[in-house]
Amino acid sequence: MPARILEVCAFTIQTCIIAERAGAARVELCDNPIEGGTTPSYGTIKQVRDKIGIDLFPIIRPRSGNYFYNEDEYAIIKHDIQICRELGCNGISVGTQTIDAEIDTEWLKRIVEWAGPMSVTCNRAFDGTPDPFKSLEELIACGCRRVLTSGQKSAAPDAGQLLGELVKQAAGRITIMPGAGVKSTNLQKLIGESNATEYHSSARAIAPNPLTYINKEVSDYGHVYIADEDEVRAMVAVLKG
């Protein structure tokens, strides 16, 4: 049985450093946490790559919303993939959809080719498809190495049975990585139900605002999200058994 590992979804460089320190094996680096993650900046990817030694997979997603892209957006995706390759990333996280929400296999094949030799994870675009079993075979045929999935539910721990069925169907041809709502308190049950070897979590916490003065009349600051290091360590401990 392969060792079970944790991928941390990171929205800041601080989280990437925490993830490595706490024993995670990989970081999915994103911007824009409120809308599910979009492509991080060149500067962010470069600085993270310089700072951490674990695997780095930036999300390649030019905008939030659906994964039905036009040709200009696919051109953006191609440019961003090239940057990731030049900066020494180990892989990317990406998704594609047709107008009918199926996996757009023609574009995904091109993306896998553009990414080579980097590994390609299909992100939760998979969870929006009508038939996950058909979509899984399509991802394998396109050359994806893994799929990040909540089992087509809001949270992966609510979809243990389906995730287990996907792991069986995959039969080692692609890695099924449960993610969304994964915590140290539900991870053991999810392991038992899914039998997956890789898991994904943000362990998200709001960082305190260090400013000595805050204008409370202004409400559009947003929040800085970082990983709770104790929670990451707890999940890594569960995965190590």
pLDDT at 221: 80
Q: How far, in Å, CA of 48 to CA of 26, rounded?
A: 12
Find all residues with CB under 8 Å of 212, minimum gap 6, and list them.
none
- Report the alpha-carbon distance of residue 68 to residue 129 in Å, rounded: 12
Return the pLDDT at 222. 84
Residue range 204-222, pLDDT digits in tens: 999 998 999 988 888 778 8
| 126-177 per-position pLDDT tens digit | 999 999 999 999 999 999 999 999 999 999 999 999 999 999 999 999 999 9
**130-147 residues labelled b (16+ CB within 10 A) or e (exposed):** eebeebbebbbebbbbbb
pLDDT digits (tens, 9 = 90+) for 39-61: 999 999 999 999 999 999 999 99
Query: What's the CATH fold of domain 5-240?
Result: TIM Barrel (3.20.20)
Confidence (pLDDT) at 50 = 98
For the question of whether the overall pTM of this predicted structure is more than 0.85, the answer is yes
Q: Could you give the count of Cα atoms lying within 13 Å of 155 in the half-sphere of its Cβ? A: 10
Name the phi and psi angles at 38, rounded to 5: -130, 175
Residue 93 β-bridge partners: 59, 121
Q: What is the DSSP letter of 34?
A: G
